[in-house]
Amino acid sequence: MIRPKTKLELEIQAQKDKGILTVVSGASSGVGKDSVVKGLRKKHSFDRVVTYTTRKIRQGEENKVDYNFISKQEFEEKIKKGFFLEHITYLDNHYGTPKKDKDVLLRIDVRGAKSVKQAIPESVLVYIAPPSFNAMEKRMLKRNDQKESIKKKLQVAVWEIEQFEGFDYVVVNEEGKLDKTIKLVKMIIEAERRKVR
């Protein structure tokens, strides 16, 4: 005799099939978002979404790997076609995330993260915070950024640091404890996957 599946069995199957859209964000510089995302992708399997930008390609970067580098005109055409899930302008350059229907991990700025949350309320927003503002400044200095560039980034960061409200989680990326930060974000994703519908 074939019996119908119980509600619990259906819930367990739904959790296995559940796609999670996780957005990792924080201040634009000096908090370690890129390191956290790279670590998550290296240790765990996520579909990768390559964002679009109009900024110039930097030494060591690869088109269609780090970003899709396009002209401002191409970017504006994509906006008109509704190609982007979200898009912003930062320091005179445009950045945009293409729409995808997969289990993905995104790294975007705080404004973009909040736009994603508005468009997809079930998305999970994780704010990566520095241990302190001074720690963030020290990280920028270690990367040998230009002093004028650091000054501009810190001015923007003052506002960005206060934008954690509206995020689902805040994770502090402490100096020398990157693995711990990665584990915490992974635990958040797994907990979200197991939420009862």
- CATH for 171: 3.40.50.300
Would you say 35 and 178 are in contact if contact means Cβ atoms under 8 Å apart? yes
Both 115 and 164 in one domain: the answer is yes
- Statement to judge: residues 149 and 168 lie in one domain: yes
Is there a single domain that holds both residue 40 and residue 126?
yes
Whether 92 and 15 map to the same domain: the answer is: no
Residues 20 and 116 in one domain: yes
38-50 pLDDT tens trace: 888 887 777 667 8
59 CB neighbour count, 10 Å cutoff: 4
Looking at the fold, whether 58 and 32 belong to one and the same domain comes out as: no
Are both 14 and 87 inside the same structural domain?
Answer: no
Q: Which residues is 127 bridged to in the sheet? A: 25, 170
Do residues 118 and 88 both lie within one domain?
no
Residues 58, 149, single domain; the answer is no
Contact 114, 108 (CB under 8 A): no
56, 141 in Cβ contact below 8 A? no
**Alpha-carbon Rg for the chain in angstroms:** 18
Nearest to 87 by CA among 99, 104, 103: 99
Structure tokens at 129: 């915070």
What range does the domain containing 194 cover?
Answer: 1-49+102-197
What φ, ψ does residue 127 adopt, rounded to 5°? Answer: -95, 120
- DSSP for 68-115, please give it: EE--HHHHHHHHHTT-EEEEEEETTEEEEEE---SSEEEE--HHHHHH
| CA-angle at 67, arms to 187 and 91, nearest 5° | 95
Tens-place pLDDT, residues 14-47: 666 566 789 999 877 777 888 898 888 887 777 6
Please state the domain count of the chain.
Answer: 2
SS3 126: strand
Cβ-contact 107, 95 below 8 angstroms: no
Taking the C-alpha atoms of residue 8 and residue 127, their distance in angstroms, rounded to an integer, is 32
- 45 and 56 in a single domain? The answer is no
Question: Are 55 and 135 within one domain?
Answer: no
**Claim to verify: residue 125 and residue 179 sit in the same structural domain:** yes
Query: How many degrees, rounded to 5, is the angle at CA 31 between CA 180 and CA 108?
Result: 100
Say whether pTM exceeds 0.75.
Answer: no
Per-residue pLDDT of the chain (197 residues; tens, 9 = 90+): 566 678 777 767 766 656 678 999 987 777 788 889 888 888 777 766 788 999 999 888 889 888 899 999 999 999 998 888 778 887 789 988 887 656 678 888 888 888 888 877 888 999 998 888 777 777 777 776 677 777 787 777 778 888 888 899 999 998 889 999 999 999 998 888 888 76
